[in-house]
Structure 1
Amino acid sequence: MTARGVGPRLLDPRSLRWKITALVALACGAIAVVIGVLVHRATAERGDRTGRDLAIARLGSAEQEFSRTGRRPDYASLQPTGSLPRPLAQAVQDSRVPGEYALWYDVKAPNWYWMWAAVPVGDDQVLTVRTDLSATVRSLQLLDRSIVKAALAALAVVVPVTALAAERMNRRLRHTSRTARRIADGDLDARIGRRGRARDEITEMSTAVDEMAATLQGRLAAEKRFTADVAHELRTPLMGLVIAAGLLPEDDEATDLVRTQVRALRGLVEDLLEVSRLDAGAESARLDEVPLGDLIDEVSRKGDGPVRLRLTTPATVRTDPRRVERIITNLIANAHRHGAAPVEVIVAGSRITVRDHGPGFPDTLLADGPQRFRTGAAERGHGHGLGLTIATGQTAVLNARLTFANAPDGGAVATLDLPA
């Protein structure tokens, strides 16, 4: 940030503020050019007509005096046709009506800005008058300079005013984009709100975004309530099923099947209850000094399948060991259930990486993160999608970072970065 909070974005020529300012400046410049050209042409034509009228009037007066006295006035000259400038001689030759005046505007050196008028008065004699129009030309040049100065002065005022006016709109748009990003990052309480009394397109867009956020928040809250209610309602009959399954006769195939399904159902309900607690923000971490090497070694031994453990200078971090164990257990279980052997766990410093050699995570999970009851079964097998969802929730409680990726040579890679 620079002085007075003006950041690089305000000075970015690609920003909407400067695009609007440039567009207004371009429009003002175009208008100034059109008006200047029109005024210049009109003034030049009027000066040309005035010069022609003055030259004709002077030549008429000189012709009358020459006809009456046989002498030319001082401001006129009498000379042979051959001594006339070539353009003027050509104009005299082209005049077909007797007594018609020939006109020529000389704008080249050495006779700049002279209006010539000529009329034949005898055999090979031409009476000429030349009128100096340099004052008219200088007036036109001064007018052009005045127009340019006025246009520049107008731009000097219009551009800053437009930039200031556009900045207010730009601030509203930036506030809208920041709020939308907060909503996308999970802050569903963020709202743009209405600023000022303006009823324009930005206000309509802000209102629409707020309404969308409120609707999304309501739907997610209803989903969370539904998950919690289902888990709580299932808990009571599930306990009855567990007790009833314990009363069934031993060494029976049907009994083993019922007990297996009851255990699976009980695990699902417990997962739903944990998800509901994470959604409600009811979980908090207990921080202890935890040597990661010993903890992950113990977790790897408890897993459902073989795990290759590699320790690379594991760190001792201040964290909640129960939650770290829950996260790693879910990641290892997910690797065994949906991936392929070998499953590797690597501890390097405060980073824990779990990798399998299966088909990898589905594209939807890499793009949107874990979603409950969405597992991408075509790519990863079957399940409820709660294991990775719980791992992500517990990671947030630990203020850690959990990322998902696919290895270049195949396999899913989950990386947990704990605060050092």
Structure 2
Amino acid sequence: MAARPIGLRWKLSAAIALVSALVALALSLLVHNAARASMLDSSRDAQDERLEFALRAYDSGGQLVFDARLDDPTLPEPLRRAVVKGKRATYVEERGDGPPLVWAASQVGDQVMSLNGRFADRDRALRRMDQVLRVGSVLVVLSGTALGILIGGQLSRRLRKAAVAARELAGGATEVRVQEAIGRPARDETDELARAVDALADALRKRLEAERRVTADIAHELRTPVTGLVTAAELLPPGRPTELVRNRAQLLRTLIEDVLEVARLDGAAERADEQEVALGEFVRRRVERLDPEAAVEVTREARVRTDPRRLERILGNLLSNARRHGSPPIEVTVQGAVLRIRDHGPGFPQTLLSDGPSRFRTGTTDRARGHGLGLTIAAGQARVLGARLSFRNAQGGGAEAIVWLPAQAETDDGTPGPGSPGPA
């Protein structure tokens, strides 16, 4: 089973969350370092002021205040070297067991006076600020993620609506407009995409309609002379040449009628004249007349509402295709509202299975055996009925065409039969 692709919403949300986390981390580090440096500078200034007061007290009375010490053995070596040079200096000693130790020292005669302190209040303030920064960073990331989900969700919904509308257009729903399907204009790339798809659909529709009119006009203009040709052929004297002329003239007339029918079906103006029929009995009678050698099996009877004339046309074309391009026996099965026609020939070509029926292409190398309109007409008539026609190669060999009728059928025992068309 293929993994489900990650949607645009989640990709956008993840990107915003990552950027938000990086920005929050960078800002938190900058604020922390700047605040820590400022607090340490303040602590060093405070310690230096205390040392200055301790020096004045020692000079005036020889007293050591603020826990000041002379020649403290724990005095950090870098601070000692700075003081020996005659400087009054401060030093921050980092320790892992708590706040840093802040030193201040100065030369007093041949001795060094020093004092130190931790300034825990500033360390607590820094820790509280770090906690606030962490909470703020989490809120920023969550807010950015929520914003990404909101924006990505809106964009994803608009793109999905555009995809659904485009699929409907591809399925023949010429009245669908992608611009209307995605909702109110947002003045973004989805609107540009919708306008482009609508423009493309309009251009293709106009081109197909022009081709359909040309095809219908040519077939209509040919109908009269071909009818005259068929009539004239009937007047020829009996003989083998006459029989060949009559057969070819009849084939030409059939081709023209098929082309006209395809043109009408392409126009999407055909409407079904529905009647209620018992599908199993209907198929049995029509098969006896269309192809008496085909075997009919009704596994479950169903009464459906359909157009008998169009359904007979579908059945006849599928039987004709099975007889021409398949091998006997030909089996017709009725199972509720599902009709199956199977032969035992080489099966459907891969191009038909992947692309569907195509006019003027039989799927066989012997182009003289047909003009490829039979399955095209069957598919068009099924579309008018609201049915679905699917093709597959049966297990064990042979081609199988399946007609899924859309009606809510009732079986012969009164239980609900299959409803809308489904997969084979």
Shorter-chain TM-score range: 0.7 to 0.9
1:273 corresponds, among 260, 271, 274, to: 260
- Give how far 1:391 is off: 1.2
Q: Which moved more, 1:395-404 or 1:12-21?
A: 12-21
Q: Is the 8 A contact 2:319 2:341 kept in 1?
A: yes
Q: Structure 2 matches for 1:160-199, cutoff 5 A? A: 160-193=146-179, 199=187
Match of 1:58 in 2: 50
- Residue 69 of structure 1 deviates from its aligned partner by 4.7
Alignment partners' CA distance in 2, 1:98 and 1:158: 55
TM-score (norm 1): 0.83
Tell me, in whole angstroms, the C-alpha distance in 2 between the residues paired with 1:380 and 1:412. 19
* Paired residues for 1:232-243 under 5 Å: 232-243=220-231
Name the aligned partner's letter for residue 412 of structure 1.
A
Instruction: Quote the Cα distance in structure 1 between the aligned partners of 2:12 and 2:142.
Output: 15
Instruction: Tell me how far apart the structure 2 counterparts of residues 32 and 287 of structure 1 sit (CA, whole Å).
Output: 67
CA deviations over 1:210-268 (Å, ceiling 9, x no partner): 11111121122122212211221111101110111011111x22111100100111111
Gaps of 5+ in 2: 410-424
Task: Report the counterpart of residue 335 of structure 1 in structure 2.
Answer: 322
> In 2 relative to 1, CA 61–383 (structure 1 residues): closer, same or farther, beyond 3 Å?
same
Secondary structure of 1:173's aligned partner: helix
Please report how far the alpha carbon of residue 36 of structure 1 lies from its aligned counterpart in structure 2 after TM superposition: 1.2
Deviations 1:18-41 (A, max 9, x none): 432343233223212111101111
Q: Rate the CA distance shift 1:324–1:78 in 2: closer, same or farther, 3 A.
A: closer
Find the partner of 2:64 among 48, 73, 79: 73
Cα deviation, residue 322, structure 1:
2.6
Q: Report the secondary structure of 1:377's partner residue.
A: coil
Cross-structure match for 1:258: 245
- The 3-state SS of whatever aligns with 1:378 is coil
How far off is 1:332 after superposition? 0.9
Q: Tell me: CA distance 1:202–1:321, structure 2 relative to 1, closer, same or farther (3 Å).
A: closer
| Residues 66-107 of structure 1: per-residue CA shift (max 9 Å, x gap) | 4x45713311433565xx44xx35556666844455735254
The match for 1:231 is 219
- Provide the residue aligned with 2:413 in structure 1: none
How far 1:361 moved relative to its partner? 1.2
Query: Who is 1:310 aligned against?
Result: 297
Per-residue CA deviation, residues 267-290 of structure 1 (Å, 9 max, x unaligned), is: 111112222232334543333443
User: Which residues of 2 match residues 284-295 of structure 1 at below 5 A?
Assistant: 284-295=271-282
* Residue identity matched to 1:269: I
Q: Return the alpha-carbon distance in structure 1 between the equivalents of residues 96 and 268 of structure 2.
A: 90
For 2:336 and 2:159, the matched residues in 1 are separated by 43
TM superposition shift of 1:356: 1.1
Amino acid at match of 2:38: R
1:378 equivalent to 2:369? Answer: no
For 1:244, the equivalent position in structure 2 comes to 232
Q: 1:187 to 1:293 in 2, by over 3 A?
A: closer
Q: Does 1:36 align with 2:34?
A: no
Q: What do residues 375-395 of structure 1 show as CA deviations (whole Å, max 9, x unaligned)?
A: 222399842221111111222
**SS of aligned partner of 2:179:** coil
Q: C-alpha distance in 1, partners of 2:243/2:66?
A: 133
SS in 2 for 1:193: helix
| Contact 1:305 1:336 (8 Å CA) reproduced | no
Alignment correspondent of 1:6: none
Return the offset for 1:164: 4.1
Letter in 2 for 1:49: D
Q: Report percent identity of matched pairs.
A: 42
8 Å Cα contact 1:359-1:379 kept in structure 2: no
- Judged with a 3 Å threshold, the aligned counterparts in structure 2 of structure 1 residues 403 and 26 are, in CA distance, closer, same or farther, namely same
Partner of 1:369: 356
- 2: CA distance, partners of 1:138 / 1:119: 29
SS at match of 1:311: strand
Distance 1:157 1:353, change over 3 A: closer
CA distance in 2, matches of 1:346, 1:379: 29
State the alpha-carbon separation in 2 of the partners of residues 29 and 184 from structure 1.
43
Q: When the two structures are aligned, how many residues end up with a matched partner? A: 401
**AA aligned opposite 1:116:** W
Match of 2:197 among 193, 197, 209: 209
Q: Please, which runs of 5 or more residues in structure 1 have no aligned partner? A: 1-11
Whether 1:103 aligns to 2:94 is: no
1:350 aligns with one of 324, 331, 337: 337
Secondary structure in 1 matching 2:365: helix
Q: CA deviation at 1:352?
A: 1.9
Q: For the residues of structure 2 that align with 1:108 and 1:294, how far apart are their CA atoms?
A: 94
Tell me the TM-score normalised to structure 2 length. Answer: 0.82
- Of the structure 1 ranges 71-80 and 236-245, higher mean CA displacement relative to structure 2 is found in 71-80
> Do the aligned residues in 2 keep the contact of 1:104 with 1:115 (CA within 8 Å)?
yes
Distance 1:365 1:135, change over 3 A: same
Task: Select the structure with the greater relative contact order (CA < 8 A; seq sep ≥ 6).
Answer: 2
Structure 2 counterpart of 1:200:
188
Per-residue deviation, 1:165: 4.2
Q: Secondary structure at the match of 1:403?
A: strand
Aligned equivalent of 1:403 = 390
Aligned partner of 1:327: which letter?
A: I
- Counterpart of 2:37 in structure 1 is 45
Return closer, same or farther for 1:343/1:182 CA change in 2, 3 Å cut-off. Answer: same
Aligned to 1:17: 9
Partner of 2:412: none
AA in 1 matched with 2:327: A
